[in-house]
Amino acid sequence: MKNKKLQAMIVVGMLSSISFVLMLFNFPLPALPPFLKVDFSDIPALIAAITMGPVAGILVAFFKNVLDWLFAGSPTGVPVGHMANLVTSILFILPVYVIYRKIASKKGIIAGLVLGTITMAIGMSVLNYFVFLPMYTYFLNVPAETGNALFTTIVLGILPFNIVKGFILTAITLLMFNSIQPWIEKQRNYYRPKSRTV
């Protein structure tokens, strides 16, 4: 049991490091606000979640944001963007974990990724409206967008961005899935019987 927990911690650390490196290679999407950038760092967190459980996936997402904050800092002095990124990751990976746990097949991973994209897009639209965008304006000490302006930013910026991001992550995950599914099942069988999470 101790060896299994130690191994799980090592794997979480490795996946967190990979996730952090992937986070550095971010890029904006055409016609969307430039501060919104896509990266592929949620994929290691997703792999951790479906192989070792949701806690492992959340830990990978948490540690990659801590590493990026230490490496790059934050324009506000407070890691608002990193907090938003962590929540985004959680909203995306947890639905995939829940569905894949019940339907461990390509059909299950597709359904989970679609639901994860919807959850991420809607959840981050709401949270940006009420929490994260107001936090940015507060800590940057700039006039806050309110009313129609804020709503427009959400509908024409945040919402389509997360939908496109989810589509990209879904496509990459599905391209990888056929080749890594045997490894995923091996890891699930190793970690699940005695310990669902790290």
49-62: per-residue pLDDT in tens?
Answer: 999 999 999 999 99
157-169: per-residue pLDDT in tens?
Answer: 999 999 999 999 9
Q: What's the token pair of residue 113?
A: 């990724």
CATH code at position 111 = 1.10.1760.20
At CB < 8 A and 24+ separation, what contacts does 32-40 make?
32/157, 32/160, 32/161, 32/164, 33/153, 33/157, 33/161, 36/157, 36/158, 36/161, 38/161, 38/164, 38/165, 38/168, 40/169, 40/172
9-49: per-residue pLDDT in tens?
Answer: 999 999 999 999 999 999 999 988 888 999 999 999 999 99
Total number of domains in the chain: 1
With respect to residue 196, please indicate whether it lies within any of the assigned structural domains.
no
Only one residue has tokens 């461990």, namely: 104
pLDDT at 198 over 50: no
**Global pTM value:** 0.91
Structural domain of residue 178, as residue ranges?
A: 2-26+37-191
- Least confident range from 32-36, 50-54, 119-123, 180-184: namely 32-36
With respect to residue 198, please indicate whether it lies within any of the assigned structural domains.
no
Q: Is 70 left (phi over 0), alpha (psi -120 to 50) or beta?
A: alpha
Do residues 26 and 74 touch, judged by C-beta distance below 8 A? no
pLDDT at 196 over 80: no
